Amino acid sequence: AQKVTQAQTEISVVEKEDVTLDCVYETRDTTYYLFWYKQPPSGELVFLIRRNSFDEQNEISGRYSWNFQKSTSSFNFTITASQVVDSAVYFCALLIRAGNMLTFGGGTRLMVKP
Amino acid sequence: NAGVTQTPKFQVLKTGQSMTLQCAQDMNHEYMSWYRQDPGMGLRLIHYSVGAGITDQGEVPNGYNVSRSTTEDFPLRLLSAAPSQTSVYFCASSPGTGVSYEQYFGPGTRLTVT
């Protein structure tokens, strides 16, 4: 069975601080995909990134960066110089190829204060 | 393309009533699924379909029925609503195997059962 754990249920930072959201996953499959989604107060799910299990390269996109480490089964997400607009719930999710369905973590609510 | 559409956006039901949440996609995706989102629990898979005429249960299927008569539509039926089914429901679609595995989410339906 698959499992995704986001141990931080809520994080509060002041604008311009850096913040890292943790994600730890469990699966016995060797082929899988990891995702991060953002859910702003409006409620929709916004896709941020997908990473497959064979690609451990870290990725940077503007103020966002992701650190994938298979050795620790982690896929952490860092926001540099946070902004109020980053306030949202962030979900990490795991997809194994066989089922093509997502297993979500419980989410981390990020509050960025001005 | 409209992407994934869901209707209604909001619904209030009384205990014991039945209703159908509608989901449609115009991307010719093979895979469709329904998730429910409850506070602190992320999204959990209710039912999914890997093609027209094929459905299967996810993590939390009790109290829900689905069918997939066309590629485009994947309705979710609540047979006898219970307060425990108060939640936000998301429908998703995906191209399926061999492609990107990206999940496209609808805007969600907020359901309250009193």
Report the pLDDT value the prediction gives residue B97, as an integer from 0 to 100: 62
Q: Is the pLDDT of residue A98 over 70?
A: no
Q: A interface mutation test: which of B10, B32, B103 has the most A CBs within 10 A? A: B103
Instruction: Dump pLDDT digits (tens) for B22-60.
Output: 999 999 999 999 999 998 778 999 999 989 999 999 999
Among B40, B58, B90, whose Cβ lies nearest the Cβ of A106?
B40
Q: Stretch B76-99: mean pLDDT, rounded?
A: 90
Q: Taking a contact as any Cβ pair under 8 Å apart, which residues of chain B between 42 and 101 contact chain A?
A: 42-45, 48, 50, 58, 88, 90, 92, 94, 96-97, 100-101
Alpha carbons B85 and A98: distance in angstroms, whole number: 28
CB contacts of B96 in chain A (<8 Å) are 100
Letter string b/e over residues B45-76, b meaning 16 or more CB atoms within 10 A of that residue's CB: bbbbbbebeebeebebbeebebebeebbebbb
Report the mean per-residue pLDDT for chain A: 93
Confidence at residue A62, expressed as pLDDT on a 0 to 100 scale: 92
Q: Say yes or no for a CB contact (<8 Å) between A106 and B88.
A: no
> Is B99's pLDDT higher than 60?
no
The pLDDT, as a whole number, for residue B100 is: 60
What pLDDT shows up at residue A99? 65
Distance CA A30, CA A102 (A): 16
Q: What is the pLDDT of residues A31-74, one digit of tens each?
A: 899 999 999 999 999 999 888 888 888 888 899 999 999 999 99
CB contacts of B97 in chain A (<8 Å) are 97, 100
Is it the case that residue A81 has pLDDT exceeding 60?
Answer: yes
How close A109 gets to chain B, by Cα (Å)? Answer: 10
Nearest Cα of chain A lies from the Cα of B70 at a distance, in angstroms, of 19
For chain B, say whether A102 makes contact (Cβ under 8 Å): yes
Q: How far is B101 from chain A (nearest CA, A)?
A: 7
* Distance separating alpha carbons of residues A74 and A36, to the nearest angstrom: 12
Q: Is the pLDDT of residue B96 over 90?
A: no
